[in-house]
Chains A and B, each alone.
Chain A
Amino acid sequence: GENVEQHPSTLSVQEGDSAVIKCTYSDSASNYFPWYKQELGKGPQLIIDIRSNVGEKKDQRIAVTLNKTAKHFSLHITETQPEDSAVYFCAARRKTSYDKVIFGPGTSLSVIP
């Protein structure tokens, strides 16, 4: 089955710096890769996603890149702000298991003012 690894498990950056979180997946049949942000006491919030026919996607300060050959995908947050502090989960879904999303273990991001 699919396995998603995520690094680092914790990340601390100064406000204004960039943050990068990296994930790898095992199943080459995976074709959809969402990223979720979870703040303390809240449910996960979808912040950006990418499909396997695209190499990069940007939304303001957030970007995601996908390398299908290496089975890597990464989240890039530029000009970090204290409100970016949260746990971030990457995930992957196989084309043939439409309803089942496999999550990575999560990265706890702290942005220091």
Chain B
Amino acid sequence: DTEVTQTPKHLVMGMTNKKSLKCEQHMGHRAMYWYKQKAKKPPELMFVYSYEKLSINESVPSRFSPECPNSSLLNLHLHALQPEDSALYLCASSHPKGTGYEQYFGPGTRLTVT
């Protein structure tokens, strides 16, 4: 089963709200990713967790705060977002280095900031 699940599917939030996006996988993958995708553009990498430790932060503003509580879960905490942060947020997972290459994506959370 190559499934990554994400909740919620859609989220509308105001600029003063605090919300969280959730991602889960049960494939035994130990690397998990957050991507941001704007319309008609490719996914842009935001964060990578490897063995539950943050390994890559692509200079993402601090209003986005990732968390990896365990090997199956990945969260993205949002606060004080701007309208330009509206996008599709994708979670992905893969085996860690040396054991496989394939990255599997979830369906995404469509975020609208008003």
Contact = CB atoms under 8 A, between A and B. Distances in A.
Interface string A100-113: 11011110000000
Interface residues of B, number: 25
A76 interface: no
Interface residues of A, number: 21
Interface in A39-60: 41-46, 49, 51
Nearest to A93: B101
A32 B107 contact: no
Interface of A: 32, 34, 36, 41-46, 49, 51, 89, 93, 98-101, 103-106
A100 B104 contact: no
Nearest to A91: B42
Contacts of A42: 107-108
B37 to A, nearest CB: 9
A99 B101 contact: no
Contacts of A101: 45, 103
Interface of B: 4, 6, 31, 33, 40-43, 45, 48, 50, 55-56, 90, 94, 96-97, 101-108
A44 B41 CA distance: 12
Closest 10 CB pairs of A and B: A103-B42, A43-B105, A98-B97, A99-B48, A43-B107, A44-B105, A43-B108, A32-B101, A43-B106, A43-B90
Contacts of A89: 42-43
A75 to B, nearest CB: 15
Contacts of A98: 96-97
Given A51-B101, A99-B33, A106 B42 contact: yes
A45 B50 CA distance: 21
A49 B100 CA distance: 12
Contacts of A46: 102-105
A88 B42 CA distance: 10
A99 B55 contact: yes
